[in-house]
Amino acid sequence: MKTSLKMLLLAAVAALALSCGGRRARQQQQAVAEAAAGMKVFLPPIAPSGLAPAEQRDYLRCHYWDRFDFSDTLFVHKADTLSMLEAFASYVSLLSEHPTDGAPMDSLMRRASASAPMLRYFSMLAERVLRDPNSPLRNGEFYIPVLRAQLASPYLDQYEKLGPEYDLQIALQNRLGQPANDFRYTLASGATGRLYDIRAEYVLLFINNPGCPMCRQIREAIVSSPMLSEMQERGRLKVLALYPDEDLAEWRAYRDQIPAAWINGYDDGCVIRETGSYDLEAIPALYLLDSRKRVLVKDSTDVPYIEEVIDRRE
């Protein structure tokens, strides 16, 4: 995803904190400008001002798409797609308070499945916001209903469904609240171990590549976290750094960069990639697991969020 689009999605999240009156005025100004340019515009609803903030969010979750005409197939040809991406991202941000509840997205995709153009358009929006590795709103649970809608659609032929079928298979791995897939890792000494043999209250799986700038940033963020460092010292948290690819010379040259207290291994034979047991499209990736290896955080790059999830469980 281009940086400009990433910033747009972040702006959409921030926009939810704006006052209703100010947001309404901005929407009206935007609508006038875009209508003058001949573009189709969708204005999300404004929650009644008399509602409490939590009630406003509930209202928007239920009524966000009420004024959108899903039968207007001409919309997709004249729509301001950047504006629609922002609107879709704002909706996803509302849903993110319940990150494992895919029902609202399922309902939306059922409505969008009324025609081939509308299904393809909303599938594109969902892919950019929910699937793109660089999206701050990436969420596999919300993307599953999108893929299922594509697979159930009579408008897509069997060849067009091959991609969604594969993506759904990957998305169904390591779901939030479910046990993570076990795997074997190999240490520099040649000794091997399994994920499920690691004994700790929490396991932080860090899938990484040597020389990856973001991998370095995440590694430094984990090391500099007082909370995570203390948990490691007390034996409550263990970090497993896993290299999933085949260039072992590169991995060996890099392994001294990994803290000695971490378990630093590689996937011998690239079994994870071959079996698709973890999504390796976006590296780095963090998975936070509990003592029973249930997934608490999936495919993240946000160390402060890891801390937040642990803190909420304390």
In the numeric block, the tokens 């990994």 are attached to: 258
Hey, how many other C-beta atoms are within 10 angstroms of the C-beta on 142?
26
Read off the pTM: 0.85
Hey, how many other C-beta atoms are within 10 angstroms of the C-beta on 313?
10
Q: Which of 46, 126, 121 is nearest to 92 (CA)?
A: 126
Domains recognised in the chain with CATH numbers: 3-171 (no CATH), 184-313 (3.40.30.10)
Hey, how many other C-beta atoms are within 10 angstroms of the C-beta on 279?
19
Secondary-structure percent of the chain, ordered helix, strand, coil, rounded to 5? 50, 10, 40
Hey, how many other C-beta atoms are within 10 angstroms of the C-beta on 179?
14
Q: Which residues, in sequence order, are CB contacts of 237 under 8 Å at separation 6+?
A: 200, 201, 202, 203, 204, 228, 231
User: Tens-digit pLDDT profile for the chain (314 aa)?
Assistant: 445 555 556 555 555 544 344 455 555 555 555 554 578 889 999 999 899 999 999 999 999 999 999 999 999 999 999 999 999 999 999 999 999 999 999 999 999 999 999 999 999 999 999 999 888 899 999 999 999 999 999 999 999 999 999 999 999 999 999 999 999 999 999 999 999 999 999 999 999 999 899 999 999 999 999 999 999 999 999 999 999 999 999 999 999 999 999 999 999 999 999 999 999 988 999 999 999 999 999 999 999 999 999 999 98
